[in-house]
Chain A
């Protein structure tokens, strides 16, 4: 209640007057409240009606039944879920005889794949660039500054087009591809060594895998820090054991005339999209990191220096741990915009969610229904990322720990 509403001068004498005045204010408040709701509902209704009649004129019915139809188009890469013979859905490569719903799942999978890889890589690269801007080395400092400055002031889309047409498509063809320790870089894509399962049904290997999974879960969720370290060590030891006993082996790609076999392949489109997004997000992350380091009290640096710590130990053990506590929410925002940026994949033909939605809308005409699905998918993706970041933030900053 504000003073002019309660009218302090007259209110003191006349209690009944004040009461009725308050009641009137409340009724007015509720009336406006209902008015706002009514207007919004009316607007939404009008929108729905206009869309429905507009669609009816074109002979399109608003329904989601097209999701069960056969897709009839192919997608260059990506896995999907389909209803197989068993109770659990099958996880297989997409093929044109699957349903439209499977095509959407492929899109979500491809978007999530790029977003996941890009989040990890851009965090690493971004932190390196951000710390590099504070390096004592003049060349490194200025190099990092200009990279960040250039990337932040130019459009991501043009960077993506540049990476695709001017870099990735200029890679050597497979016949003369570049090889680095099992990595094959060529016009047809990038091939990296992959782990492959050769354990078969052997009980020993399966038990080891289960143990690894349990230790990883423990390493993430165990509340005691010492136990988490033990879990990490156990996971590494079990994995080494699995590798030595022949449960898994590294599968190196082998270059043939036009294609490479074995290993995991990254298509040229995905390589370009990944490069563009990683470099772009890393620059924004670098700026955040640098800002947070600048915001750290100078006394922290001075205290570390007076203890005789070298600059490397100061940065690694004093500065960065404090910085990461502060910057995590900004990282979260950057991760969300990174996930949204994957929609630019359509410019180079990477089959992400938005690209596949475009194909589906063209083929079936159900663009509006598709938009609802795509929008909901992006909302859920953003929500998952912000929940994870919130969770990690709680983990790093337990309640009551002073900054």
Chain B
């Protein structure tokens, strides 16, 4: 045992003179860093603030007595995400156990059943959705319709207290979901437009995509936010809706580029074969090219969802209270002014966990999609 570990150390840490120098420089630094982080996290950090203000972090300034609406909405989102997951990865009991760790942990830290209930509900519905689509293949067919209905129900449930009150992590997730769903069809249309035989359409789509890809998202969101009331004052669109429109307009261009790369990956022979069968241009694109193209770009599109989720904090520019702003709101309280590290590490850690899961899903999906091809 000791011999193997010495061998491992010699091979992996002190293999060459340069490695020795690197090891001697880096290992003490890493150890010191690890020690100070652990020391801070378990001894001096006051995590109470996170536990106390968990509701604000999760749902922002949504009124406390209406919080059940937000919790129901998060349960529905959990079910939709779980069901989507189940279409690709089949559910295993140990997945459920890992997911159930979250409410259990919360129960221990929080010390009250009432506070851990929302998390339990969300996790439970995620597991249910996941199990449903993995064990009942028929349910996959109705998933799009069910997800659409779910979105409408979410809006209907969340709207009464006021759309302006949406916030916290829930707002970030909602914004990400709505943007990813809306930008997909627009992106597909733009990608086809960019490859169209009509030069006018091609030029317009190319310009749109290129302009959107070279200006910052924050500018587009802000621009749509001030332009919408000027364009359509009678609609009185809420800030949230304007933010979602801005995100969709921006990310459609990115989706279009991903889809275009997929379109180019479809062999020309496929189109030619379809033509020789006498299919119309529309039918070729819809049932021959697009399914094969989307298969290639599913993984990059999931990566794009991560991009959208990671840029969700930008909505601070139009005054929305997303996850980051909720954290800053807590820090604005002079009582908690010195808890910057605690709150920011919690935000980063949460984002890292969710982001890693999305990245992991994208990688798995890439392998999954690659297996079927020649």
Chain A residues packing against B (C-beta within 8 Å): 2-4, 29, 32-34, 36-37, 40, 47, 50-51, 54-55, 57-58, 135-140, 143, 149-150, 152-159, 161-162, 165-166, 311-312, 336, 340-344, 346-347, 354, 358, 361, 367-368, 371, 374-375, 378-379, 381-383
Contact = CB atoms under 8 A, between A and B. Distances in A.
Interface in B283-311: 306, 309-311
B180 to A, nearest CB: 16
Given A55-B230, A150-B352, A161-B344, 13 more contacts: A29-B197, A34-B200, A50-B230, A136-B16, A139-B22, A154-B352, A158-B344, A312-B18, A336-B214, A341-B216, A342-B216, A344-B218, A368-B226
Interface centre among B227, B232, B359 (most CB of A within 10 A): B227
Contacts of A375: 211, 215, 219
29 contacts: A4-B275, A4-B278, A29-B197, A54-B233, A136-B15, A136-B16, A137-B19, A137-B26, A139-B27, A152-B359, A153-B352, A153-B359, A155-B313, A155-B351, A157-B316, A158-B351, A162-B344, A162-B348, A311-B16, A340-B215, A340-B216, A343-B218, A344-B314, A347-B316, A354-B216, A354-B218, A368-B227, A368-B230, A374-B219
B198 interface: yes
Interface of B: 12-13, 15-16, 18-19, 22-23, 26-27, 30, 197-201, 204, 211, 213-219, 222-223, 226-227, 229-233, 275-276, 278, 280-281, 306, 309-314, 316-317, 324, 328, 340-341, 344, 347-348, 351-352, 355-356, 358-359
B13 A138 contact: yes
A51 B227 contact: yes
A137 B13 contact: yes
Contacts of B215: 340, 375, 378-379
Contacts, number: 156
A36 B201 contact: yes
Contact of B12 (A29, A138, A156, A383): A138
A137 B218 contact: no
B12 A157 contact: no
Contact of B198 (A29, A150, A368): A29
Contact of B313 (A143, A157, A343): A157
Contacts of B217: 340
A156 B222 CA distance: 18
Contacts of B13: 137-139
Contact of B199 (A33, A139, A165): A33
Contact of A51 (B16, B230, B276): B230
B312 A155 contact: yes
Nearest to B350: A154
Contact of A139 (B30, B213, B231, B311): B30
A378 B212 CA distance: 11
Nearest to A336: B214
B261 to A, nearest CB: 13
